[in-house]
A and B are shown apart, each in its own frame.
Chain A
Amino acid sequence: GAVVSQHPSWVICKSGTSVKIECRSLDFQATTMFWYRQFPKQSLMLMATSNEGSKATYEQGVEKDKFLINHASLTLSTLTVTSAHPEDSSFYICSARGQGDSPLHFGNGTRLTVT
């Protein structure tokens, strides 16, 4: 079945630094990718939707200058958390889908800890 690879699975960084998370579709072309954030015991909150070759669409309340999303190819989208702060510590999950009515596939998530 279709696989989405998300890397890294966990990362610890210092406050003020930037962190990049990659989301790759391994065996299909992902026309759309979604980025979610999840706090412990809570639901997945959609942060932004990215379509290949165009600017991401951010949900209300999500800072686009802080959470940079790039979807440069049909198999790769990246989320960069810039100038990270402890409150950015969370679990980030990507999902991807191909064309038409194809289903969504999720990455395994990235646990970010900012110290």
Chain B
Amino acid sequence: AQTVTQSQPEMSVQEAETVTLSCTYDTSENNYYLFWYKQPPSRQMILVIRQEAYKQQNATENRFSVNFQKAAKSFSLKISDSQLGDTAMYFCAFIKVYNQGGKLIFGQGTELSVKP
């Protein structure tokens, strides 16, 4: 069975600074996807970034980037130039290749506070 672990229940960062959220996972699969989702107080799940396991290049979306270390099964999220609107719960998630009946498994979450 796959597991996803986020070891940082809470993090805080000053506005405009950089913060890194950690995530590790365990799987015997070789093909899979990893995601970071943001859940603001509205509780809407917002996809932040997605990484395909077969791609060595780390995914980047504007101020958000990941450090994907497949051998170490590590998938951290870096938020640059933090903004107040980045305050939210962040979930790391894993799914094995869709057409093999994959289901999205979430980590415990990290509550990020961006302080002015």
Q: Which residues of A come within 8 Å of B, CB atoms?
A: 34, 38, 41-46, 49, 91, 93, 95, 97, 100-104, 106, 108-109
Q: Secondary structure of the A side of the interface?
A: strand
Nearest chain B CB to A112 CB, angstrom units: 13
30 sample A-B contacts, Cβ–Cβ < 8 Å, listed by A number: A34-B103, A41-B89, A41-B109, A42-B108, A42-B109, A43-B107, A43-B109, A44-B45, A44-B91, A44-B106, A45-B106, A46-B103, A46-B104, A46-B105, A49-B101, A91-B43, A93-B43, A95-B45, A95-B104, A97-B98, A100-B99, A101-B97, A102-B98, A103-B47, A103-B50, A104-B95, A104-B104, A106-B45, A108-B43, A109-B44
Of A34, A38, A45, A95, which is in contact with the most chain B CB atoms at under 10 Å from its CB?
A38
Residue B86 lies at the interface, judged by CB distance under 8 Å to chain A: no
B99 touches A101 (CB 8 A): yes
Number of residue pairs across A and B with beta carbons under 8 Å?
Answer: 45
Residue B111 at the chain A interface, CB threshold 8 Å: yes
Q: Are A106 and B106 in contact (CB under 8 A)?
A: no
Residue on A nearest B109 in the bound complex, by CB: A43
Count how many chain B residues have C-beta atoms less than 8 Å from C-beta atoms of the other chain: 21
Contacts of B98 in A (CB 8 A): 97, 100-102
Residue from B47, B91, B95 in contact with A43 in the complex, judged by beta carbons closer than 8 Å: B91
- Kindly report which residue of chain B lies nearest to residue A46, judged by CB atoms: B103
Which residues of chain B from 13 to 72 have a CB within 8 Å of any chain A CB? 42-45, 47, 50
Minimum CB–CB distance for B90 against chain A, Å: 11
Q: Is the CB of A43 within 8 A of B106?
A: yes
B42 to chain A, nearest CB (A): 8
Contact A93 B45, beta carbon cutoff 8 Å:
yes
CB-defined contacts of A108 to chain B, threshold 8 Å: 42-44
How far, in angstroms, from A28 to B19 measured CA to CA in the complex?
Answer: 36
Bound CA–CA A54/B112 (angstroms): 40
- Bound: A42/B89 CA distance, A: 9
Cβ-defined partner of B103 (8 Å) among A41, A43, A49, A109: A49
